[in-house]
Chain A
Amino acid sequence: MGAGHHHQLYRAGDTLVHRLPPQCKLVAVAAFAIVVVATPRERFWAFCGYLLLLATVAAIARVPPGHVLRRMVVELPFVLFAFAIPVIGLGERITVWGVSLSVDGLWASWNILAKATLGVIASILLAATTEPRGMLLGAQRLRMPQLLVQIATFMLRYLDVVLDSMRRMRVARESRGFQARDIRQAPILAKSAGALFIRSYERGERVHLAMLSRGYTGSMPILHDISADVRQWLAAGALPLAAAAVLFLT
C-alpha cells in the first residue's frame, strides 16, 4: 500500500517479523498483552524482561527506537492520569521532595504505566510490521465478525475520499472569507459537518448499489488465503511464550 498520510504506522521491510502472516502476529500480541496484564505489579523484574523481549522483536524487525518513541504519544493521557493518582490517592503516605504521596497510589500508577507502555509498544511494533490491509485480512482469518472487518475495510478505502471532501469544503468556506476564529462560528462548522455526513451517507448508498451490481449477497468473498503453517505460528508464539517464561522465572 502507498504512503498515504494515515498509514505512517507501517514501516515497509522484509524481515522475519514482516513476513509472518498477520493473524499469527495479532494472536501473539493479544497473548503477550494477557501475560503482561496478569503479572502482579510487584514483579518489577518481570516487566524489565518483557521490555527486553519487545526490544529483541524490534531489533529483528529493524524498527528503530525513534520510530516507536515518536508514536508513543498516544499514551500521553494515561501518563497524566497515572501521575495524578499518587497525589490524590488515599491511605498510607510518604513524602518525596516535599510532596506527600499515597503509597498505594504510587503502586497503582506504576501498574498502569508499566502495563500500558508494554501494550502500546507491542501494538506499535505490530502496526509497524503489518500493512493495514494485512491486519484486516488477518482479522478475517481469525473469524472476527464479518461486519466489523467490512466496516474497517471500507474505512481504509474511503478515509482519503472523506478527508478530501472535508478539505474541499474547508477551502470553499475560506475562499468566501470564512475563518474559524471563535465559538460564534460553530453553527457554520456544524452545518458543514452535517453536509459531510449526508454526502458520506449518500455515497454509502451508491457504493451498496455498485456492490449489488457485482453479485454481492452479504458476505465478502475471501480472496487471499493467507494461511499460516506450524512454523509461523511457533515463530509468532515465541513472544508470548517467552513472556510467560519470564513471569514464572522471576
Chain B
Amino acid sequence: MTLEVRDLAYAYPDGTQALFGVDLRIARGERVALLGPNGAGKTTLVMHLNGILTAGHGTVRVAGLEVGKETLREIRRRVGLVFQDPDDQLFMPTVREDVAFGPANMGVRGEELDRRVRDALDRVGMLDAIDRPPHHLSFGQRRRVAVATVLAMDPEILVLDEPSSNLDPASRRELAQILRSLDVTVLMVTHDLPYALELCERSLILSGGVIAADGPTRELLADESLLTTHRLELPYGFAVPSPGT
C-alpha cells in the first residue's frame, strides 16, 4: 500500500471539526480522484498526508512508514504535495532554484541535483523555462513547474490540490497529458468531475469529513442521486452513461 489512512479525525484549533474518521487505501501505481464539495475537508486531509497537520486521532502511513514527528523528513520526501496556488508553491527567484529547493533540502548537490532539476522540468515540458523567474510564466506554465518541484524529490505519491482550477481549456488538457504520462501514484483532489473521469479510474467522495463513496469513477459519476446528496454536479450538458446500459 502506498497510502493508508485509518480512522483519521481532526479539529482545527478554533474547534471546527473538519475530519470525522477518514479511511482510505491507495495502491502503488493507482491514479485516484478525491471528490468533494467546498468545505468537505479535502485540503485538511491533504495536509495530513505529509504531516503539516498532525492527526487528532488515527494514523497515516506512506509506503509503510507512519507519519509522526520523527519520520517527517522522510515522509515529506515520499509525499509530493502540489498546492492549489502555484504562487504559493514557487517561492524562489528562478525556476531552476525552485525545482532544486526540495532535493537540495534532502542533501542532493552538484551534478546529481542538476540532473534531477532538468529531468523534472523535462517531464512537465518546461525545460526551456529553467532560468526564468516564475512570475514571467503563464498560470498554466507555473502549475506545471509546481508539479516539477515535487517530481524532483522523487516522491512515492503525488498529491495535487485542485490541479485544474483556473486553467484555460488548453492548459487543462496539457496538464492532463502530463499527469497521464507520469509513472507515479497520484491522488488528485478536485471538484472538476470530468477531469476526474478523464484521468482517474477510481474515485473517493469526501463529504462531511468522511469517505462517503469509493469506486470506479464512471460508476460514481453515473449515480445521479449519489452526486446530488454530496453537492457534486456534472457540468451542463455533460452525462455519464451508467455502466451496463
**Neighbouring B residues of A75 by C-beta, 8 Å:** none
Counting CB contacts under 8 A, is B1 at the interface? no
Q: Interface of B with A (CB < 8 Å)?
A: 47, 50, 52, 73, 76-77, 79, 81, 83, 85, 87-89, 91-94, 97, 100-102, 104-106, 113, 132-136, 149-150, 153
Q: Which DSSP category, helix, strand, loop or mixed, fits chain A's interface?
A: helix
Docked complex Cα distance between A61 and B150 (Å): 40
- Binary contact readout A1-42 vs B (1 if CB under 8 angstroms, 0 otherwise): 110100000000000000000000000000000000000000
> Given A215-B77, A221-B101, A210 and B133 touching (CB < 8 A)?
no
Q: Interface of A with B (CB < 8 Å)?
A: 1-2, 4, 132-133, 153-154, 156-158, 160-161, 203, 206-207, 209-217, 221, 223
Cβ-defined contact, A215 with B91, below 8 A: no
B86 and chain A: residue at smallest CB distance: A210
**Neighbouring B residues of A215 by C-beta, 8 Å:** 73, 76-77, 102, 105-106, 153
Cβ-defined contact, B76 with A212, below 8 A: yes
Interface pairs (18), CB distance under 8 Å: A2-B133, A132-B93, A153-B92, A157-B91, A160-B135, A161-B135, A206-B85, A206-B88, A209-B52, A210-B89, A213-B52, A213-B81, A214-B150, A215-B76, A216-B105, A221-B104, A223-B104, A223-B113
Nearest chain A CB to B191 CB, angstrom units? 20
Tally inter-chain residue pairs, CB-CB below 8 A: 78
Nearest chain B CB to A248 CB, angstrom units? 42
**Neighbouring B residues of A223 by C-beta, 8 Å:** 97, 100, 104, 113
> Given A2-B133, A160-B135, A211 and B91 touching (CB < 8 A)?
yes
Docked complex Cα distance between A209 and B88 (Å): 9
A219 and chain B: residue at smallest CB distance: B105
Docked complex Cα distance between A216 and B47 (Å): 16
> Given A1-B93, A203-B87, A203-B88, A217 and B105 touching (CB < 8 A)?
yes
Cβ-defined contact, A157 with B93, below 8 A: yes
**Neighbouring B residues of A210 by C-beta, 8 Å:** 81, 83, 88-89, 91
A131 and chain B: residue at smallest CB distance: B93
> Given A157-B91, A209-B52, A2 and B105 touching (CB < 8 A)?
no
Docked complex Cα distance between A156 and B94 (Å): 10
**Neighbouring B residues of A209 by C-beta, 8 Å:** 47, 52, 83, 88
Nearest chain A CB to B171 CB, angstrom units? 19
**Neighbouring B residues of A212 by C-beta, 8 Å:** 52, 76
Nearest chain B CB to A5 CB, angstrom units? 12
A222 and chain B: residue at smallest CB distance: B104
Docked complex Cα distance between A59 and B141 (Å): 40
**Neighbouring B residues of A207 by C-beta, 8 Å:** 88, 91
Nearest chain B CB to A153 CB, angstrom units? 6
B52 and chain A: residue at smallest CB distance: A209
Cβ-defined contact, A157 with B149, below 8 A: no
B131 and chain A: residue at smallest CB distance: A1
Docked complex Cα distance between A161 and B139 (Å): 13
Nearest chain A CB to B150 CB, angstrom units? 7
B110 and chain A: residue at smallest CB distance: A225
**Neighbouring B residues of A214 by C-beta, 8 Å:** 76, 101-102, 105, 149-150, 153
Docked complex Cα distance between A207 and B87 (Å): 8
Q: Which of A2, A156, A160 lies in contact with B132, CB distance below 8 A?
A: A2
